[in-house]
C-alpha cells in the first residue's frame, strides 16, 4: 500500500542518515591537539553521544508525526489551510517532508543559549540597562508589522535585544519570524498538548493557551537566558516612535521604587478627546495593571512564576494577593495601540473602544527629564492635593459647559453604580478589576473633557478599594 511504502521509505532514509551521522561523529579524524588530552576526548565523545541520542529521539518523533499524518491526513487540522501538511502524490516526493523545516528553535545548539546569555549579561558602554523585548506570537502573520516597528524604532540592538516567542506551531507565522534570521532570537513554546478546560469555559480556551505561553516564555527569558528586565509586546501592537525612550526613561523608577511593579505603555482611557494631546510627556501612577506593552523585572517574575495561573493571567495579576498595593506607571498618551485582533479578544471591544486609542506621535526625551515626581512619596502628596483642591462639579455642569472656573475640576462618586453611570456618560471605561477602576490611582480616574482636566474621584476620606466592586 502506498502509505506503508511511504512510511518505510521515510524510515530507511532517516536510519541511513542517522547511521552516516554516527559514523562521521565516531570516526572523525582527530587532530593531535585534541588527542593530547584524554579527558577532553572523552568529554567530546560523551557530548556527541548525547547529541546523537537526542537526534535519534528527534527522528523517532518526526517519524511518529509522519505516521500520524499518513494514517489520517483528513483529521490533521491546522489553524489555517496552509498549515495542513501535504501528503505526497508519489513516493518520490517523500524527501520533501515539510515538518523538517519547522524544527523548534530551542533544539538548536547550546551555542545559541550561550550567545543569548552573553547578550543578557552584556555591560553597555554608557552603563545603561539591557532590556529584552519579548514578542508573543501565535498564528497571526501580522506579527511582522509589530517586529518591523520594533526594529525601526529601536535605538540600539545591544540594549534592546528582541526575542520572539511563538506558540501554536502555525507554519506561515513561523516562516515570517524565521525570515528575520539573526536580527531576533526565536523561541517556540514546546508544549502543544490540549489543555484541560472546564466545560463552561471551553470558549475561553485561548486564554488558557496564552497563560501557558506567557509562563513558559517568561521563564525562558528571565531564568534561562538570564535577562534582568523585559518589555512584553503582543503580536498585534503598533508602537510609538518614543516607545523605547519611554521605557528607558522610566526604568530607574521601576528599579528604585518598590511600590512600583510595572511600567505600561497603555492608557485604558487613552481615546481621542479624553487625553491631552499637548502633554505627551505627562505620566501617571496607576493601581490598575494596564498590560499592552509593559515592562517588568526578574524579581517580580520570580515572585509570580511559581503560582502563575492556568488562565486569565491579567485579571489574576490584578488581584490584591499579587498586586500587594503596588502601582504601574502609565502615560497620558499611549505608546502602543492594537491594530485589531481576530482571536481571543472579541472584535466588538476593538470596534467600540480599542480602535479609538490615540497613539503618541511626538517623541519625548524621557531619559533627559526628571521623573522623580512619579516616586510614591512625591507623587501621592502632589496628586491628592491637586485632585482634592479641584472644585466639585456635577456631570451636567461639565456637559453644559457652564463652569466659569479655569483649570481642573472634580466629579465625586461614592458608590459603584454612580461611578459606572458617570463613567459611561463620559465615555470612560466603566469596569473594575478587583475593585479598581481602569487607570485609577487611589480610586481617582483622570481624563480630559472638552479641553479641561477632570478627576472622577471618591470622597476625600477614601479607605481603599472594595474588591466586591465589579
Ligand atoms: C517557571 O518557573 C517556575 C520557577 O522555577 C516554576 O515553578 C514554573 O512551573 C515554571 N513555569 C513553566 C510554565 O514552566
Residue nearest to atom 5 of ligand 1 (CA): 306
Mean pLDDT of 357-378: 98
Q: Which residues contact 282 (CB under 8 A, 6 or more apart)?
A: 276, 331, 332, 333
For ligand 1, the distance from its centroid to the CA atom of residue 49, given in whole angstroms, is 29
Tell me how far the alpha carbon of residue 427 lies from the centroid of ligand 1, in angstroms.
Answer: 40
Question: Average model confidence (pLDDT) for the chain?
Answer: 85
Whether 219 lines ligand 1, by a CB cut-off of 6 Å, is yes
User: Could you report the per-residue pLDDT of 390-437, keeping only the tens digit for each?
Assistant: 999 999 999 999 998 899 999 999 999 999 999 999 999 999 999 999
Provide mean pLDDT across the span 370-394: 98
Is 270 in the same domain as 310? yes
User: 139 in a domain, yes or no?
Assistant: yes
- Kindly report, residue by residue over 217-252, the tens digit of the pLDDT: 999 999 999 999 999 999 999 999 999 999 999 999
Best mutation site among 305, 307, 309 for ligand 1 pocket (most ligand atoms within 8 Å of CB): 305
Please state the domain count of the chain: 3
**To 10 degrees, the CA torsion angle through 384, 268, 245, 113?**
120
Which residue's alpha carbon is at the smallest distance from atom 12 of ligand 1?
Answer: 216
Domain end point (choices 331, 351, 376):
376
**Residues 338, 322: one domain?**
yes
pLDDT tens digit sequence for 451-460: 999 999 999 9
- Of 263, 377, 275, 380, nearest to 330 (Cα)? 263
Atom of ligand 1 nearest to the CA of 216: 13
Residues 132, 296 contacting (CB under 8 angstroms)? no
pLDDT tens sequence across 260-302: 999 999 999 999 999 999 999 999 999 999 999 999 999 999 9
pLDDT at 260: 98
Mutate to test the pocket of ligand 1, among 190, 208, 219 (most ligand atoms within 8 A of CB): 219
CA distance 44 to 66: 32
Tell me, using a 6 A CB cutoff, whether residue 216 lines ligand 1.
yes
Strands 237-239 and 294-297: unpaired
Considering the domain architecture, whether residues 148 and 173 belong to the same structural domain is answered as yes
pTM: 0.78
SS3 162: strand
Let me know whether 209 and 276 are in one domain: yes
Going from the Cα of 261 to the center of ligand 1, the distance in angstroms, rounded, reads: 20
Q: Is residue 76 part of a domain?
A: no
For residue 274, the Cα-to-chain-centroid distance in whole angstroms is 26
Does residue 93 form part of some domain?
Answer: no
Q: Are residues 363 and 396 in the same domain?
A: no
Q: Are residues 146 and 251 in the same domain?
A: yes
* In a domain? residue 468: no
In a shared domain, residues 339 and 270 = yes
Q: Which residue, of 356, 376, 396, is where some domain finishes?
A: 376
- Per-residue confidence (pLDDT) for residue 31, from 0 to 100: 40
Instruction: Give, rounded to a whole angstrom, the gap between the first and last alpha carbons of the chain.
Output: 62
> To which residue does cell 492635593 refer?
385
CB 306 near ligand 1, within 6 Å:
yes
Q: What are 2-53's pLDDT values in tens digits?
A: 556 655 556 555 645 665 555 555 554 444 333 344 444 555 555 555 565 5
Cβ atoms of 36 and 120 within 8 Å: the answer is no
19 Cα–ligand 1 center, Å = 37
For residues 95-117, give the mean pLDDT: 64
Look at ligand 1, atom 9, and give the residue with the nearest C-alpha: 306
Kindly provide the residue ranges of all beta strands, DSSP E only, lying in 240-288, ordered along the sequence. Answer: 260-264, 283-286
| C-alpha cell read off for 361 | 506621535
Q: Which domain holds residue 67?
A: 2-71
Give domain status of residue 80, yes or no. Answer: no
- 389 plus 401 within the same structural domain: yes
What cell does 468 get?
466586591
For residue 219, give the ligand 1 atom closest to its CA.
1
Phi, psi of 79 (to 5 degrees): -75, -25
Residue nearest to atom 8 of ligand 1 (CA): 306
Handedness of CA 218, 219, 220, 222 (dihedral sign): positive
Query: Is 308 a domain residue?
Result: yes
CATH number at residue 425: 3.10.180.20
Rounded to an integer, what distance in angstroms lies between the CA atom of residue 162 and that of residue 232? 10
Largest CA distance in the chain: 92
Q: Is there an atom of ligand 1 within 6 Å of 290 CB? A: no
**Lowest model confidence (mean pLDDT) among 32-46, 121-135, 183-197:** 32-46
Out of 18, 44, 71, a domain closes at: 71
Cα of 58 vs centre of ligand 1, distance in Å, is 24
299 Cα–ligand 1 center, Å: 14
397 shares a domain with 344: no
Task: Report the distance separating Cα 339 and Cα 294, nearest Å.
Answer: 17
- Report the DSSP beta bridge partners of residue 334: 359
User: Residue 381's pLDDT is what?
Assistant: 98
Residue 278 sits in a domain whose CATH number is: 3.90.550.10
> Can you tell me whether residue 444 is helix, strand or coil?
strand
pLDDT value for 340: 74
The set of catalytic residues is 314
CA-CA distance, 290 to 215, in Å (whole number)? Answer: 18
Instruction: Indicate if 451 and 370 belong to the same structural domain.
Output: no
Query: Does residue 367 have its Cβ closer than 6 Å to ligand 1?
Result: no
The pLDDT of 377-392, averaged and rounded, is: 98
Cell numbers at 354, concatenated: 480599542
Residues 223 and 303 reside in one and the same domain: yes
DSSP 110-143: HHHHHHHHHHHHPPPTT-PPPEEEEEEESS-TTH
- 215 close to ligand 1 (CB < 6 Angstrom): yes
Q: Enumerate the β-bridge partners of residue 231.
A: 133, 295
Q: 131-137 and 162-166: which strand pairing?
A: parallel
Instruction: Quote the CA–CA distance of 234 and 293 in Å, as a whole number.
Output: 7
Residues 257, 115, single domain; the answer is yes
Residue 119 CA to residue 323 CA, distance in Å, equals: 30
User: What is the whole-number distance in angstroms between the Cα of residue 108 and the centre of ligand 1?
Assistant: 22
Amino acid at each position: 500500500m502506498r502509505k506503508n511504502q511511504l512510511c518505510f521509505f521515510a524510515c530507511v532514509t532517516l536510519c541511513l542518515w542517522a547511521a552516516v551521522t554516527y559514523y562521521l561523529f565516531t570516526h572523525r579524524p582527530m587532530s593531535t591537539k585534541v588527542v593530547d588530552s584524554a579527558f577532553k576526548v572523552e568529554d567530546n565523545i560523551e557530548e556527541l553521544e548525547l547529541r546523537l541520542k537526542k537526534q535519534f529521539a528527534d527522528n523517532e518523533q518526526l517519524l511518529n508525526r509522519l505516521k500520524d499524518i499518513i494514517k489520517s491526513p483528513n483529521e490533521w487540522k491546522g489553524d489555517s489551510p496552509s498549515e495542513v501538511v501535504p501528503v505526497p502524490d508519489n513516493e518520490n516526493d517523500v524527501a520533501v517532508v515539510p515538518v523538517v523545516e519547522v524544527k523548534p528553535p530551542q533544539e538548536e545548539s547550546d551555542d545559541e543559549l550561550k550567545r543569548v546569555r552573553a547578550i543578557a549579561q552584556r555591560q553597555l558602554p554608557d552603563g545603561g540597562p539591557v532590556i529584552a523585548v519579548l514578542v508573543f506570537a501565535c498564528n497571526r502573520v501580522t506579527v511582522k508589522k509589530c517586529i518591523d516597528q520594533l526594529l525601526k524604532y529601536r535605538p540600539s540592538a545591544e540594549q534592546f535585544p528582541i526575542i520572539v516567542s511563538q506558540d501554536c506551531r502555525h507554519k506561515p507565522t513561523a516562516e515570517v519570524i524565521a525570515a528575520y534570521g539573526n536580527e531576533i532570537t526565536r523561541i517556540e513554546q514546546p508544549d502543544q498538548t490540549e489543555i484541560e478546560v472546564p466545560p463552561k469555559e471551553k470558549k475561553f480556551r485561548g486564554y488558557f493557551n496564552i497563560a501557558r505561553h506567557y509562563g513558559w516564555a517568561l521563564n525562558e527569558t528571565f531564568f534561562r537566558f538570564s535577562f534582568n528586565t523585559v518589555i512584553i509586546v503582543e503580536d498585534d501592537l503598533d508602537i510609538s516612535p518614543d516607545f523605547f525612550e519611554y521605557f528607558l526613561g522610566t526604568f530607574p523608577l521601576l528599579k528604585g521604587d518598590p511600590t512600583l511593579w510595572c511600567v505600561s505603555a497603555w492608557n485604558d482611557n487613552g481615546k481621542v478627546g479624553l487625553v491631552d494631546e499637548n502633554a505627551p510627556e505627562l505620566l501617571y501612577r496607576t493601581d490598575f495593571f494596564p498590560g499592552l506593552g509593559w515592562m517588568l523585572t526578574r524579581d517580580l517574575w520570580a515572585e509570580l512564576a511559581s503560582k502563575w495561573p492556568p488562565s486569565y493571567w491579567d485579571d489574576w495579576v490584578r488581584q490584591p494577593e499579587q498586586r500587594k498595593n503596588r502601582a504601574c506607571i502609565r502615560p497620558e498618551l499611549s505608546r502602543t495601540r492594537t491594530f485589531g485582533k481576530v482571536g481571543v479578544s472579541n472584535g466588538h471591544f476593538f470596534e467600540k473602544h480599542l480602535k479609538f486609542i490615540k497613539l503618541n506621535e511626538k517623541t519625548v526625551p524621557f531619559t533627559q527629564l526628571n521623573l522623580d515626581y512619579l516616586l510614591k512619596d512625591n507623587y501621592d502628596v502632589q496628586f491628592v492635593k491637586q485632585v482634592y483642591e479641584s472644585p466639585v462639579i456635577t456631570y451636567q455642569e461639565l456637559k453644559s459647559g457652564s463652569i466659569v472656573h479655569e483649570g481642573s475640576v472634580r466629579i465625586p462618586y461614592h458608590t459603584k453604580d454612580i461611578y459606572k453611570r458617570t463613567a459611561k456618560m463620559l465615555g470612560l471605561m466603566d469596569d473594575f478589576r478587583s475593585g479598581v477602576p481602569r487607570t485609577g490611582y487611589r480610586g481617582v480616574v483622570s481624563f480630559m473633557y472638552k479641553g479641561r482636566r477632570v478627576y472622577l474621584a471618591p470622597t476625600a476620606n477614601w479607605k481603599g478599594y472594595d474588591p466586591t466592586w465589579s
